[in-house]
Structure 1
């Protein structure tokens, strides 16, 4: 006799995946990383630490530096280089956030006013440049050309992703492949680099470098897919974020791509009006969500994230079981479970 199991009910009964294990394992190292971040964002130009401190103190999980710290521990590294490199990763990430908010003309991030809303676009762009420069100073101080190659390469790919997104914004004909290339560049490249340098500082074999790079890349894709789905989900407000920001900005994300492809002539006209022409009415966001649900676009975006999450998990298969490996595996579950 077949037994039907309610997965949502079973999920609610079990412990929710979290970042607690990751934070516990890397806690002391992360404290040192935060001190490095504070020290290296200082400048005699008062506006720089003021503006940089605003976005750095605005919250965030420090997920990317945590991945660097834990990947190094997974590879049995016992030195200190990974701390400065984790700070480097966070500087790169923060710089891209400052630039992103200017490009998107965003007024809120994590429920707080963005730096550009407070100090203006020019200051935000220039302080973002300062943080990129600090990141490169930390890379050079590490002294490894390989580390410099990995992190500077990731910075270049992120910039390419920004331009790619600019090209696809407001274009409802964007393909799923083009969308995935944007998030691979904008988000996943830094996840991949953050993980790979953990193996590099530990002087591990290339196969372990590549495994951690694959883990980070696919985790980053899964992470962004869920983020893009959440923009149209009631879960977004539960997480303290505004629903529909991507819609209002005309961003083409996977839920839009799928709903547009699966819709009829009238539905496609709706997407062109709201996203290409940005002629939006108050009821349009609710209609967009209804169309996505009708065509399974949100459900299938989560399924895609699960696919990339599975690849990320498999990438860690070459490492022996340990606390660090279990914590990194739980990160995958955490990123995807945000959808529920």
Structure 2
């Protein structure tokens, strides 16, 4: 990861001062770096030490960061990772345009790696992510959204980049088609579990730990799995209150809605969905070939542990 951070710092440079300023602000905010770490872990689990893995891990992080810049503008977010969003500090225009810079820089770096298969995976993933964002926008303020529509969004918007990260590791390792499919399955399942837990934390987490405001999804009119589960479980008058908040994007009743969501069992049901996705990821990790190599087995176990610990994260 130190090598990846070095690549990130080297490739953030621009002759336009504001580009570097905004890019360093958002990338320097830290974050979990889950996607690049996932790519490196999967490479190690496959016994791959291709030096391009650090560049491609940075590419994945750039694509993710670009989506964050654009998301915060679309959602009118004010807080991320415990500090003001880039759009709050630099304005919407700068955030959108620097997000474009990060996308284009990521594509320059992909070309440098010189592998058409990898370029195709990342290009397709970027396109699917954009479609997922548009789909989520279309679903805003729809109080009748169901699980199928929700899962379609998160598999495009979040899980696709996880899947691309682990698939790239298989391509770097020159793995066979079956192993590539297992790697992709792990990433997709882990990404879905990650997003579901993230959506649960928006209703039960701690704002200081999360580094963002609780109830942001409700304010933005986003219907996530905890709300879908709650609407199926709560009383009719409580459901009417929640639907009104979704349709108007209001937060006046936020404390009461948080109480309903927490009391209904909706959070437990959503966590059970996340657990099923995590189990799917664990099964995929255990299906990876190790060839009896202790180092590969150690990283395979780390992939299993990552999926298991995901369910208990608080931020």
Could you say which TM-score interval applies, normalised by the shorter chain?
over 0.9
Structure 1 counterpart of 2:293: none
Q: Deviations over 1:70-104 (max 9, x none)?
A: 11111111220111110110000000000000000
Alignment of 1:167-316 (within 5 A): 167-281=138-252, 284-316=253-285
**How far has the Cα of 1:239 moved from its partner?**
4.0
**Cα distance in 2 between the residues matched to 1:291 and 1:330:** 33
**Cα distance in 1 between the residues matched to 2:156 and 2:210:** 25
**Cα distance in 1 between the residues matched to 2:228 and 2:11:** 41
Structure 2 counterpart of 1:144: 115
Distance 1:68 1:165, change over 3 A: same
Would you say 1:131 and 2:106 are equivalent positions?
no
**Cα distance in 2 between the residues matched to 1:120 and 1:279:** 24
**Cα distance in 2 between the residues matched to 1:63 and 1:170:** 30
Distance 1:132 1:83, change over 3 A: same
Aligned to 1:204, the other structure's residue is in SS state coil
Q: TM-score, normalised by structure 2?
A: 0.94
**How far has the Cα of 1:236 moved from its partner?**
4.7
**Cα distance in 2 between the residues matched to 1:246 and 1:189:** 21
Distance 1:236 1:225, change over 3 A: farther
Distance 1:238 1:61, change over 3 A: closer
Would you say 1:75 and 2:56 are equivalent positions?
no
Q: Deviations over 1:81-133 (max 9, x none)?
A: 11111011000000000000000001110111111101111111110001000
Assess if the C-alpha contact under 8 Å between 1:77 and 1:202 holds in 2.
Answer: yes
Assess if the C-alpha contact under 8 Å between 2:81 and 2:211 holds in 1.
Answer: yes
Q: Deviations over 1:164-207 (max 9, x none)?
A: 11011111111111001111111100000001100101101111
Structure 1 counterpart of 2:129: 158
Assess if the C-alpha contact under 8 Å between 2:286 and 2:304 holds in 1.
Answer: no
Structure 2 residue runs of 5 or longer lacking an equivalent are 291-295
Assess if the C-alpha contact under 8 Å between 1:230 and 1:236 holds in 2.
Answer: no
**Cα distance in 2 between the residues matched to 1:46 and 1:279:** 38
Q: Deviations over 1:126-173 (max 9, x none)?
A: 100010001111111111111011111110010011001101111111
Assess if the C-alpha contact under 8 Å between 2:139 and 2:145 holds in 1.
Answer: yes
**Cα distance in 1 between the residues matched to 2:258 and 2:118:** 43
Structure 2 counterpart of 1:105: 76
**How far has the Cα of 1:280 moved from its partner?**
3.4
Assess if the C-alpha contact under 8 Å between 1:172 and 1:260 holds in 2.
Answer: no
Assess if the C-alpha contact under 8 Å between 2:111 and 2:119 holds in 1.
Answer: yes
Assess if the C-alpha contact under 8 Å between 1:81 and 1:142 holds in 2.
Answer: yes
Aligned to 2:30, the other structure's residue is in SS state coil
Structure 1 residue runs of 5 or longer lacking an equivalent are 1-29
Structure 2 counterpart of 1:333: 308
What is the aligned residue count? 309
Assess if the C-alpha contact under 8 Å between 2:82 and 2:210 holds in 1.
Answer: no
Aligned to 1:212, the other structure's residue is in SS state helix
**Cα distance in 2 between the residues matched to 1:125 and 1:339:** 29
Q: TM-score, normalised by structure 1?
A: 0.88
Assess if the C-alpha contact under 8 Å between 2:218 and 2:249 holds in 1.
Answer: no
**How far has the Cα of 1:262 moved from its partner?**
2.8
**Cα distance in 2 between the residues matched to 1:335 and 1:48:** 34
**Cα distance in 2 between the residues matched to 1:179 and 1:70:** 29
**How far has the Cα of 1:304 moved from its partner?**
0.6
**Cα distance in 2 between the residues matched to 1:44 and 1:235:** 40
